[in-house]
Amino acid sequence: MTEEQSATFDYDDDSVAVIIGSGAGGGTLAHELTSKGIKVVVLEAGHHLTSDDYVNNEWEAFNQMAWLDPRTTSGSWRLARDFPNLPAWIVKAVGGTTTHWSGATPRFKAHEFKARSTYGRIEGANLADWPISLEDLAPYYDKAEKKIGSTHRHGRPPLPANNNYKVLAAGAEKLGYRHYATGPYGTNAEPYDERPASIQDGFNFQGDKNKSKWSTLVSEIPKALRTGKLDLRPNSQAVQITHTPEGLVDSVLYVDADGELQRQRARVVAVAGNSIETPRLMMLSGSPLFPDGLANSSGQLGRNYMRHTTGSVFAKFDQPVNMYRGETMAGVVSDESRHDRDRGFAGGYYLQTIALGPAFLASFVDPGAWGPEFAALLDDYANTAGLWIVGEDMPQESNRVTLNTSAQDHLGIPVPNVHFGDHPNDAAMRDHAYQQGSLLYEAVGAASSHHTPPYPSTHNLGTARMSERPEDGVVNAFGQTHDVKNLFVSDGSQFTTGGAANPTLTIVALAIRQAEYIAGQMAASEL
The predicted-structure confidence for 386-396, as pLDDT tens digits, reads as follows 999 999 999 99
What's the chain's average pLDDT? 96
Q: Closest by alpha carbon to 94, among 240, 218, 187? A: 218
Q: How far apart are CA 105 and CA 195, in angstroms?
A: 17
Residue 105 has what pLDDT? 97
Q: Is the pLDDT confidence value at 203 over 90?
A: no
- Rounded CA separation 479/495 (Å): 9
- Neighbour-count burial of 370, counting CB atoms closer than 10 A to its CB (0-12 exposed, 13-18 middle, 19+ buried): exposed
Give dist(CA 490, CA 488) in Å, integer: 6
Q: Please tell me whether residue 177 adopts helix, strand or coil conformation.
A: coil
Q: What percentage of the chain carries pLDDT values higher than 90?
A: 95
pLDDT at 184 over 80: yes
Q: Name 452's bridge partners.
A: 312
Mean pLDDT over residues 40-53, rounded? Answer: 96
Q: Give the residue-averaged pLDDT of 43-52.
A: 96
Give the residue from 208, 225, 402, 221 showing the smallest Cα distance to 300: 402
CA–CA dist 326, 474 (Å, integer): 41
Q: How far apart are the first and last CA of the chain?
A: 29
> 191 preceded by cis ω (within 30°)?
no
Pairing mode, if any, of strands 17-20 and 40-43?
parallel
Q: How wide is the angle at C-alpha 66 spanned by C-alphas 61 and 72, nearest 5°?
A: 140
Q: Band the pLDDT of 5: cuts 50, 70, 90.
A: confident
- Cβ neighbours for 499, distance < 8 A, ≥ 6 positions apart: 108, 109, 112, 347, 392, 506
d(CA 323, CA 134): 35
414-419 and 72-74 as β-strands: parallel, antiparallel, unpaired? Answer: parallel
Mean pLDDT to the nearest integer, 205-217: 94
Residue 496 contacts residue 12 (beta carbons within 8 Å): no
Q: Cα separations (Å) of 45 from 21, 65, 91, 110, 458?
A: 7, 12, 10, 35, 18
Long-range contacts of 283-289 (CB under 8 A, 24+ apart): 283/402, 283/403, 284/239, 284/240, 284/403, 284/413, 284/414, 285/240, 285/241, 285/242, 285/243, 287/243, 289/243, 289/245, 289/247
Q: Is the pLDDT of residue 204 over 90?
A: no
Count of beta carbons in the 10 Å neighbourhood of residue 411: 11
Q: Confidence class of residue 157 from pLDDT cuts 50, 70 and 90?
A: very high
Identify the pLDDT of residue 3: 54
**From CA 176, how far away is CA 232, in angstroms rounded?**
50
- Residue 230 pLDDT: 98
User: In terms of CATH architecture, what is 17-523?
Assistant: 3-Layer(bba) Sandwich (3.50)
| pLDDT tier, 330 (very low <50, low <70, confident <90, very high otherwise) | confident
Residue 66: other Cβ atoms inside 10 A: 19
Query: pLDDT category, 2, cuts 50, 70, 90?
Result: very low
- Measured distance CA(264)–CA(296) in Å, rounded: 23
Q: What is the DSSP letter of 397?
A: T
Using alpha carbons, list the distances in angstroms from residue 365 to 81, 91, 101, 341, 435. Answer: 15, 21, 19, 30, 17
Statement: residue 499 has pLDDT above 90: yes
Indicate the pLDDT class of residue 41, thresholds 50, 70 and 90: very high
- Determine the pLDDT at residue 1: 37
Q: What is the per-residue pLDDT for 140? A: 98
99-138 tens-digit pLDDT: 999 999 999 999 999 999 999 999 999 999 999 999 999 9
pTM over 0.95: yes
pLDDT of 470 higher than 70: yes
